Structure 1
Amino acid sequence: MNRRPILWGVLIGLVSAALLAPWTGSALGRLAKARAGLASAIAVTKVPASDTAVLKPDLTMAGVDATAAIRGRVERLAHGGGVLVETVLPTAAPAPLVMVQLRVSGPEKAVLALADAIERDRPLLRFRSWRVEAAEGGGVRLSGVLVGALR
């Protein structure tokens, strides 16, 4: 094999790289600026630290025993509507939140009214997930996970 074509190829490659160096340098500079801008935008939109409030204080529950407070609220509302509270069990949740598994049964209108009253009342509680299914005796059973925020 002849070395002359290989040397010409290497020489043409080096000359091309030298001629394209200014455009390559400016492209790399613009890329670095874009990456820095992206990093600063991400830093600005970071998730708030755990010591910052998730909700206004009047919408949150006192952190003494939130599960008992939720249980008392659900039982009070259920008793007024004629709904049976089957289970209220605490569930693991991230720091400023409290989650409770709930299972109630009774007449359809009363169970739906209970779910509505739970979400409308203060302090704020929302169903993370829920399911309504037919129960024995012509009623319905609501099972779901309630989420609330602690102070």
Structure 2
Amino acid sequence: MSRRPILWGVLIGLLLAALLAPWTGTALGRLAKARAARAAVVASMATAPAGAPVLKPDFAFSQADASAAIRARVERLAHGGGVLVEALAPTAAPPPLVMVQLRVSGPEKAVLALADAIERERPLLRFRSWRVEPAEGGGVRLSGVLVGAVR
């Protein structure tokens, strides 16, 4: 094969690239502006206004007894379902939140029902992280971190 067709192809390709350069530059400029606008919106959404409530008041715990209320709820539900509460300790959390580390064990159905009941009641509690693993005697052990909001 001779070099002449290859040179013509390269020359035509460079010519087309030069002709399309203004439209390509415009498209890249618009893309950069759209990305900058999106980043600004995401940044403004990430910072909550100071003093803004995290949840409606009926979904949050009162500031005074949040840890005690969580402990009472977990122990009440565990006792009703036949689940053993092995550990229940508060952990550090940012100001509008309260976090409690939890470890329970018992029959699989009872432990899963307990986790479901904890998340269904009000004020709201959610598992930030959780893990279910087999325990001695054929049961399971649920360990995790519960997160709730305080008013």
Which TM-score applies when normalising by structure 2? 0.71
- Residue 68 of structure 1 deviates from its aligned partner by 1.0
2:104 match? 104
Q: Are residues 143 and 42 of structure 1, via their aligned partners in 2, closer, same or farther at CA, if it must alter by over 3 Å?
A: closer
Distance 1:119 1:41 in 2: 32
State percent identity of aligned pairs: 73
The answer to whether structure 1 residue 52 and structure 2 residue 52 are counterparts is: yes
Distance 2:142 2:119 in 1: 14
Q: Over the residues paired in the alignment, what is the CA RMSD in angstroms?
A: 2.3
1:76 match? 76
Q: Are residues 43 and 109 of structure 1, via their aligned partners in 2, closer, same or farther at CA, if it must alter by over 3 Å?
A: closer
User: Which structure 1 residue ranges, 4+ long, deviate > 6 Å from structure 2?
Assistant: none
How many matched pairs? Answer: 120
Q: Are residues 107 and 44 of structure 1, via their aligned partners in 2, closer, same or farther at CA, if it must alter by over 3 Å?
A: closer
Q: Are residues 58 and 40 of structure 1, via their aligned partners in 2, closer, same or farther at CA, if it must alter by over 3 Å?
A: same
Which TM-score applies when normalising by structure 1? 0.71
- Residue 41 of structure 1 deviates from its aligned partner by 4.5
Distance 1:45 1:131 in 2: 31
2:93 match? 93
Distance 1:40 1:135 in 2: 49
Q: Are residues 112 and 44 of structure 1, via their aligned partners in 2, closer, same or farther at CA, if it must alter by over 3 Å?
A: closer
* Structure 1 gap segments, 5+ residues each: 1-29
- SS of 2:53 mapped into structure 1: coil
Distance 2:87 2:112 in 1: 17
Answer with 1 or 2: which has the greater Rg. Answer: 1
Q: Are residues 84 and 41 of structure 1, via their aligned partners in 2, closer, same or farther at CA, if it must alter by over 3 Å?
A: closer
Distance 1:96 1:64 in 2: 12
2:129 match? 129
Distance 2:136 2:40 in 1: 58
Distance 1:115 1:40 in 2: 38
1:119 match? 119
* Structure 2 gap segments, 5+ residues each: 1-28
